Structure 1
Amino acid sequence: MFGGNSGGSNNTQPPEGGSKSGSIGAGLIAAIILLVWLLSGIYIVEPAERGVVLRFGQYSHTSMPGPHWHFPYPIDRVEVVDVAKIRSVEIGYRSSGGRPESNVLSESLMLTNDENIVDLKIAGQYRINDAAEYLFNVRTPDTILRQMMESAVREVVGQSTMDFVLTEGRSEVATRTEQRLQAMLDAHATGLTVTSVSMQDVQPPEQVQDAFADVVKAREDEVRAKNEAEAYSNDIIPRARGQAFRVIQEAEAYKSQVVAKANGEASRFVQVMTEYEKAPLITQERLYIDAMESVYSRSQKVMVDVDSGGNNVLYLPLDKMRGSSNAPRVDLNNLNYPTTNNPQTSSSTSAQDGSRSRGGR
């Protein structure tokens, strides 16, 4: 096929037709090989990935998602990096899918600002921000991130007290650790971005946990007692203010009542005095009648006066009249009796409960 001499002839001069056919075949094979080599430079980058193109081992550019072509090996080489994957890092413990957590005391024991030790476990999540920086700026970016995160959390805990870390400062420690870690990653151009940092657990060392539990319980009792005192104060003070306001209003009402009554009595006395000066006898008789009416209205005796005589029978319900002080008064002067020929002078009687009074003939 390449124009070589077939058979055992000693003629070394190839025929003219064989030389042409051999050149065509060699060119065809070379074209096929070249085509295959060029097609091998086609690659596809997924939406969650980035393609880092290296030309002769040196960074060239980063390709975005979609189909691309590069010079095949050995000219170009493509490193595909998943930039959407969320990776995790754990400080102070290790966990896996089916195995329980294992503590790493060399990472979890940290010194606080007040020279106490806490056992802290913290976890973080991150992703790749810049694929080129992730591949070329640091040798092992995941390991570097773990070391930076341990350094950041030790710095934050070292600036805080033990009580702050164990109680209300958990979220603040996680936030400050995230900020400090991101600043360190950006300073070293690792191409990583921290998405979240969460405090998993923080406890005093195992040797002093019982004593610390007593301290925490005492602190909780103190908070509970303060809350109960505040609740009692919020309940009793408004009620006391309400009672004081009610007493003041009652005093004001009593004052107004007494003053008004005194003014009325004074006004009535002045009016009576004025009428008395105008007609002394009539006013004196009127006052006498009013006084006697007031006295007899509270008396248990019944006075009967009959001007005209007769043999009529008078019945008075004395039992009911004497049994209740609020019984209605009977005006005996307005009673109408049938008259007879027999004169009747006058009679008065004092009756007891349940008796009847008859008129004399």
Structure 2
Amino acid sequence: MAWNEPGGNSNNQDPWGGRKGGGRQGPPDLDEAFRKLQESLGGMFGGKKRNSSGGSSGGSKGGGFGMLAIALLVLLAAWLYNAVYVVDQQEQAVILRLGKYHETVDSGLNIYFPPFDTKYQENVTRERAYSKQGAMLTQDENIVEVPLTVQYRISNLRNFVINVDQPEISLEHATDSALRHVVGSSTMDQVLTEGREAIAAQVRERLQRFLDNYQAGITVTQVNIQSASAPREVQEAFDDVIRAREDEQRERNQAETYANGVIPEARGQAQRLLEEANGYRDEVVARATGESDRFTALLAEYQKAPDVTRERLYLTTMQEMMSNTSKVLVTGDKGQNNLLYLPLDKMIEGGRNQGSATGNSSTSSSNSSSSDAGSRLARELEQRDLRSRESR
């Protein structure tokens, strides 16, 4: 039954389960706890402390000591907060003790002792960059706008902190000096067109040499030169020059293309003419050689039988001549009226009919018929010559 229900013994039971006048004690009174805390704090800060009889006693001496202790604790906490530090994996810290280099601290939890020590903590793996743009004078006395970006990182934190005051400003000044030196040694065309990569490499090399001489603890990783341009006052004229250069290059490419097409063709024609000339030469030489050999052989036969050889040559010559003509005139000896009839028209007509039937072989068939006719004519002439000799 609840302690406050009607009919319950509310006078002898409280909600904490204790009884008035009982042996078991309940929780402390909150007002009493707050009062004790207030008295203790007042004593620490120099307040008066009440005694059990309701009076108060002075505590100035104890309160002053308490204030000093609290101040010391606060100062100690602030000092520890500043002295204890954490170095990340990508960082390093340089400690100067009384202005002199003491140590370089790697990653981890560390402590130093200000104000005797001074701490410089930097990221030594992160790539840093800065951009710069300025007007430069080239070797051919032209002014160009050259923008560039320098990427660098801290390679030696001790040198970065100790050797150079404001090392990043020194880096900018060294970059400006290196860029002006390289651009001043180059022509305008090299800076604006195909020479940008070479200029960037030269600037990086010279800039790194400057920083090494300074012992600045900085390593330049990359120098990028964006598209340089002429000053705005002469930009239109410069654009005209660029267009003219592009037109020149285009015309040169077209000329080279035409030359590459014409020259091989001309060389082929020249080679063909040479081959034809060599073939004609070989043909003439071979024909002349054959004719000379045939004449030599004929001379030997002629020396053996001159009359027979002469008659044979005459008949062969007449055969070759009459085989190429359609008209043949045959006459007899003196005092004779014999007439030899040869049906040349029918032989020629038969040769033509045979040539038209065989198509492409018409010329060879006609020549064959004419040759047969000439052969028969030669035989007839031989027989006639023999008869005339016998009659004599």
Deviation of the 1:75 alpha carbon: 5.5
Match of 2:185 in 1: 159
Deviation of the 1:206 alpha carbon: 0.7
Map 1:264-343 to 2 at 5 A. 264-300=290-326, 303=342, 317=350, 320-321=353-354, 324-327=362-365, 329=368
Larger relative contact order (Cα-Cα within 8 Å, sequence gap ≥ 6): 1
Deviation of the 1:172 alpha carbon: 2.7
Asked if the contact 1:124–1:198 (Cα under 8 Å) also holds between the matched residues in 2, the reply is: yes
Deviation of the 1:236 alpha carbon: 3.5
Comparing 160-169 with 264-273, greater Cα deviation is found at 160-169
TM-superposition CA deviations, 1:98-143 (whole Å, max 9, x none):
xxxxxxxxxx222333333212211111111111122233332223
Q: Residues 76 and 294 of structure 1: is their aligned pair in 2 closer, same or farther, counting only changes over 3 Å? A: same
Map 1:133-152 to 2 at 5 A. 133-152=159-178
3-state DSSP class of the match of 1:160?
A: coil
Map 1:1-361 to 2 at 5 A. 45-65=87-107, 67=108, 69-70=110-111, 72-73=113-114, 76=117, 78-92=119-133, 108-300=134-326, 303=342, 317=350, 320-321=353-354, 324-327=362-365, 329=368
Comparing 237-246 with 169-178, greater Cα deviation is found at 237-246
Q: Residues 321 and 120 of structure 1: is their aligned pair in 2 closer, same or farther, counting only changes over 3 Å? A: same
Deviation of the 1:73 alpha carbon: 4.7
3-state DSSP class of the match of 1:133?
A: helix
Match of 1:350 in 2: none
Deviation of the 1:47 alpha carbon: 3.4
Deviation of the 1:271 alpha carbon: 1.3
Partners in 2 of 1:207 and 1:39 — Cα distance?
A: 59
Deviation of the 1:157 alpha carbon: 2.3
Deviation of the 1:154 alpha carbon: 2.3
Asked if the contact 2:151–2:223 (Cα under 8 Å) also holds between the matched residues in 1, the reply is: yes
Asked if the contact 1:88–1:126 (Cα under 8 Å) also holds between the matched residues in 2, the reply is: yes
TM-superposition CA deviations, 1:247-306 (whole Å, max 9, x none):
23322221121111112112112212221222234334433443344344334479469x
Q: Residues 242 and 304 of structure 1: is their aligned pair in 2 closer, same or farther, counting only changes over 3 Å? A: closer
Larger of the two Rg values belongs to structure: 2
Asked if the contact 1:149–1:181 (Cα under 8 Å) also holds between the matched residues in 2, the reply is: yes
Partners in 2 of 1:229 and 1:39 — Cα distance?
A: 79
Amino acid at match of 1:186: D
Partners in 2 of 1:288 and 1:265 — Cα distance?
A: 18
Asked if the contact 2:93–2:106 (Cα under 8 Å) also holds between the matched residues in 1, the reply is: yes
- Please, which runs of 5 or more residues in structure 1 have no aligned partner? 1-6, 9-33, 93-107, 306-315, 333-361
Asked if the contact 2:87–2:110 (Cα under 8 Å) also holds between the matched residues in 1, the reply is: no
Asked if the contact 1:113–1:157 (Cα under 8 Å) also holds between the matched residues in 2, the reply is: yes
**Percent of residue pairs bearing the same amino acid type:** 41
TM-superposition CA deviations, 1:156-209 (whole Å, max 9, x none):
223333333223332232222222222222222221111111111211111111
Asked if the contact 1:300–1:322 (Cα under 8 Å) also holds between the matched residues in 2, the reply is: no
Partners in 2 of 1:321 and 1:149 — Cα distance?
A: 101
Partners in 1 of 2:268 and 2:164 — Cα distance?
A: 73
Partners in 1 of 2:127 and 2:81 — Cα distance?
A: 33
- Please, which runs of 5 or more residues in structure 2 have no aligned partner? 1-50, 53-75, 328-340, 357-361, 374-392
TM-superposition CA deviations, 1:40-93 (whole Å, max 9, x none):
97765433222323334432121334x46455555655433211111111112x
Deviation of the 1:245 alpha carbon: 3.3
Find runs of 4+ consecutive structure 1 residues off by over 6 angstroms. 37-42
Q: Residues 259 and 195 of structure 1: is their aligned pair in 2 closer, same or farther, counting only changes over 3 Å? A: same
Q: Residues 73 and 224 of structure 1: is their aligned pair in 2 closer, same or farther, counting only changes over 3 Å? A: same
Match of 1:31 in 2: none
3-state DSSP class of the match of 2:289?
A: helix
Partners in 2 of 1:317 and 1:187 — Cα distance?
A: 112
| Structure with greater helix share of residues | 2
TM-score by length of 2: 0.60
Partners in 2 of 1:318 and 1:246 — Cα distance?
A: 39
3-state DSSP class of the match of 1:53?
A: strand
Q: Output the aligned Cα RMSD.
A: 3.7
Q: Residues 299 and 159 of structure 1: is their aligned pair in 2 closer, same or farther, counting only changes over 3 Å? A: closer
Amino acid at match of 1:48: Q
